[in-house]
Amino acid sequence: MLQLILLGLVVVLFYWYAIKPMSYWRERGVLQQKPMWLFGDSWRIFLRLESFASMFQRAYDLDPNSRIVGIYQFTTPVLLIKDPQLLKKVTLKDAEYFMNRRQVLPENGDPLFTKNLIGLKDQKWRNMRHILTPSFTSSKMKTMFALIDECCIKFVKHISQKDQEVVKVTMMDIVGRFACDVIASTAFGFRSNAMEDPNNDFYVMSEDLTNFTTARKSFKIIGFMLVPKLLEVSVKCYETYCLSMDYMIHICIIHFLSEKSSSAIQEINVEDITAHAIIFFFAGFDSVSSLISFMSYELALHPDIQARLRQEIDAGFKECNGKMNYETLMKMKYLDMVISESLRKWPSFPLSDRWCNKTYTLEPEAPNEKPIIIQKDLLIIIPIKAIHRDPKYFPDPERFDPERFSDENKDKIDPYTYLPFGLGPRNCIGSRFALMEIKSWFAHVLHNFEIVPTADTQIPVQESKKTFTLQPEDGLKLGFKRCQKI
């Protein structure tokens, strides 16, 4: 008898916790897939059978006419929003309901994870954003340009030293080393030399940040060993000598110390700055490396686009007597077009999210719809890559076509269907810096080399199933062939 009671209890508990949660969206009249018990829609990711982007793409494609789709991350219901106007409401008009991002750890958890700009919430996020914004003004970008330009010259020199007609490379590795050098010099004020040193500690730790199994360890190493020492030097230099060093973290510290008397800023300490310094590693290393790699892949497969882009770049170098400057780089329209199309097809972050912080009602717009109550603490997913590949917004979306972003065409694009840097108040704070870095790299590389496919190039390129961000599966093998200058 006792065994039957226990068995019945197990069945009830299994139903309540493993089966019933999978009907959450269906009970509310929201379209959903057929989830697996316990694993929801995440089981393919759990088994490494598909990427994160692919999971949300499947949900997105369920019904081309639906504005929303319900999905399950294991047993947790999550709402995917497809409609551009609904995205505008959630991220802009009604942003106070969706101000925060996904809370991965409790607020009293590891400060290196919870105190950076991504993990912070509400007023703490606003205070930190205020501290960080001065790092990305136009004047600071011009200053950073010189440091990035130096790294680009080093990259070209490194490739030029190779004694091959076509220098074969793994893009994610070699561009990652370039990005690492840029982060070291622009964010922390020192030269890492990752390009020349294959075992460079700074590069190895930066690379590990994008690896599921080693990321937490790397956060600890960088966060508790390297970054605090760099910050300590910056604080002492400013407080003792009032030295103004033009790299990002030092600019943040200057702004932090100069405003420390205000009540809002008093709540921020060097630990908070340290936590955000870690994000420079992740955002500057991973997203830039993947975008440069994917754009290089597209240029290798489209030599006509590459040739036209090289013409513009060569003309720019000629205009500034062989030494690229910030103003000339920013004027390159076709370079802007090619980068914009690369970000459309290969956004570094294939999705974004918002956390509902108070109950919100989605009002019906079609006759077959009914009001949907979004409960507090429910997660909203913004499927950036899926929207970018939707033929309703971008005809023939698999085709790489920079003309989508020409002066004649770009105004036809709904701004809520092109989201490479997110939307609303919590968009990417470093987008201008990332674009400048990418432009500088391509200006120098295409001025000196032709990017070509090799026998090892994977065509079509496959997306990695091991990372949250969009990355090529095999690191992307390409070649650099020296340009024949006339």
Annotated binding site for heme: 428
Q: Which residues, 6 or more positions from 157, have their beta carbon under 8 angstroms from its beta carbon?
A: none
Closest CA to 147 of 239, 251, 270, 224: 251
SS3 136: helix
**Residues 101, 356: Cα–Cα separation, whole Å:** 9
Place of tokens 């019933």: 20
DSSP β-bridge partners for residue 76: 73
Tokens of 9: 């209890």
Phi-psi region of 377 (alpha: psi -120 to 50; beta: other; left: phi over 0): left
Q: 10 Å Cβ neighbour count for 257?
A: 15
**Residues 69, 78: Cα–Cα separation, whole Å:** 9
SS3 429: coil
Closest CA to 456 of 432, 472, 439: 472
Say how far residue 242 (Cα) sits from the centre of its chain.
Answer: 34
Q: Residue 349 carries which DSSP code?
A: S
Provide the annotated binding site.
428
**Residues 206, 15: Cα–Cα separation, whole Å:** 44
Q: 10 Å Cβ neighbour count for 358?
A: 12
- Find out whether 67 and 81 touch, Cβ atoms under 8 Å: yes
Q: Is the peptide bond before 460 cis (omega within 30 degrees of 0)?
A: yes
Angle made by CA atoms 400, 404, 410, in degrees to the nearest 5: 155
Tokens of 107: 């607020």
Angle between helices 248-258 and 138-160 (to 10 degrees): 160
**Residues 95, 363: Cα–Cα separation, whole Å:** 16
In 370-413, where do the E strands start and end? 372-374, 379-382
Q: Residue 37 carries which DSSP code?
A: T
- Find out whether 59 and 45 touch, Cβ atoms under 8 Å: no
Closest CA to 377 of 18, 100, 7, 3: 100
Angle made by CA atoms 402, 454, 439, in degrees to the nearest 5: 35
Say how far residue 193 (Cα) sits from the centre of its chain.
Answer: 24
The DSSP-derived string for 89-123 is: IIIIITGGGS-B----S-TTS-HHHHSSTTT--HH
